[in-house]
Structure 1
Amino acid sequence: MNTSRADTIWRLMTPDDLAHVTALAGSVHPDYPEDTDIFAERLRLAPTGCLSLMLDGMLAGYLISHPWRGLLSPPLNTLLGALPAPADRWYIHDVAIAPAGRGRGYAQMAIARAEEAARTTGLNTLTLTSTRHALQFWARQGFVPDVISAEEQAILASYDPQACLLSRRIG
């Protein structure tokens, strides 16, 4: 899973990456803490949707994603137990890039990898929960708000008051 840049590798995440992933998540998303168990479970449930960005041999980003069903997103810092079946979309749980790697297209590469995983699984929609800080980024990537229920709105409030469920069809 190499990218076109010689010093950059998106590769499948391994359990050895989890401590680094949790540390990066804590520094990039301090207002949205998640336990290592959350990342470990997503890796166990959907290993092809969990990638690590390696820059010069160091973990500098990650993608956590998995098959999902419906417009009820997982609450923040909550174990799933199992993935819903059948899935009808691919859920991007998190994309994080270390500050030193930002602005170089790595997040767009992660989205492309999520699209690839979705297509491989036969799914044609990407869905995610955006925090207030990332809404503009996701809009630039073509994601639009979903019409959601009061139950979904209550779950989104576990992130922040402006959190929004967004989706994009895969072309």
Structure 2
Amino acid sequence: MGEHDIAAVLAIQEESYASELLESTAIIRQRLLAFPDLAWVAEDAHGVCAYLFGYRSHAGKVTPLDGAFAEPADADCLYLHDLAVARRAGGRGIGLALVQRLLDQGRTGRLRYSALVSVQGSQAFWSRLGYAAEAALDSAQQRNLASYGVPAVYMVKPLH
């Protein structure tokens, strides 16, 4: 992903998510700048058709909605945040391909886990990829999860 892709990312985000889940241009830009190696887009004949942001974190740490990404010195987890595929590109396996690319990077980087927040009924998709709901979150992380304002499930999977 590059700076020139942000407008397309925002358009796909708006098409894909409920209004309470939309994140700002500034936070999208911050994420790209903080972790350019873990910010990916897919393109088809019409341009950007999907995107995925990831970053290195700790298992059990939930990023609040519109929260900035920051990497701890002792990261053990690849956090996937905000996978979206344009309607025109649905059903082609593009989202899965982006996820696999980031998971491969996490394994190469010797991270032990991958985690994410599932929203909008996506829990079955993530479960098929080996993620499981993790309910044992401390109160601060429960508040971060609640910041999504919609039903949200924190999910984790081992990478090795």
- TM-score, normalization: structure 2? 0.91
Identity among equivalent positions (%) equals 28
CA RMSD of aligned residues (A): 1.5
Aligned residue number for residue 18 of structure 2:
30
Paired residue type of 1:72: K
Q: How many residues align?
A: 158
Structure 2, unmatched stretches of 5+, are none
Closer, same or farther: CA 167–131 of 1 in aligned 2, 3 Å: same
Is structure 2 residue 90 aligned with structure 1 residue 102?
yes
- 1:83 has 2:71 as partner: yes
**C-alpha deviations, 1:104-128, integer Å up to 9, x for none?**
1111111111111212221131100
> What are the Cα deviations for residues 101-160 of structure 1, in whole angstroms up to 9, with x where unaligned?
111111111111111121222113110011142112111221101221222222111113
Distance 2:152 2:42 in 1: 26
Residue 130 of structure 2, aligned match among 142, 147, 150: 142
Runs of 4+ in structure 1 off by over 6 angstroms are none
Letter in 1 for 2:93: G
Q: Give the equivalent residue in structure 2 for 1:21.
A: 9
Query: What does 1:50-89 align with in structure 2 at a 5 Å threshold?
Result: 50-80=39-69, 82-89=70-77
Q: Show CA shifts across 1:16-50 (max 9, x none).
A: 00111112111111330100111111111111110
The one-letter code of the counterpart of 2:28 is: F
Q: Is the CA contact 2:81–2:117 (under 8 Å) kept in the aligned structure 1?
A: yes
> What amino acid does structure 2 have at the position aligned with 1:158?
S
Q: 2:141 matched to 1:152? A: yes
| Gap runs ≥5 in structure 1 | 1-12
CA distance in 1, matches of 2:28, 2:18: 16
User: Offset at 1:161?
Assistant: 4.7
Point out which structure has higher relative CO (alpha carbons under 8 A, 6+ apart). 2
Q: Quick check: 1:132–1:160 contact (8 Å CA) kept in 2?
A: no
Structure 2: how far apart are the matches of 1:41 and 1:27?
21
Give 1:57 deviation, angstroms.
4.7
The structural deviation recorded for 1:167 is 0.8
Deviation at 1:63, TM superposition (A): 0.9
Q: Distance in 1 between matches of 2:96 and 2:36?
A: 20
SS in 1 for 2:55: strand
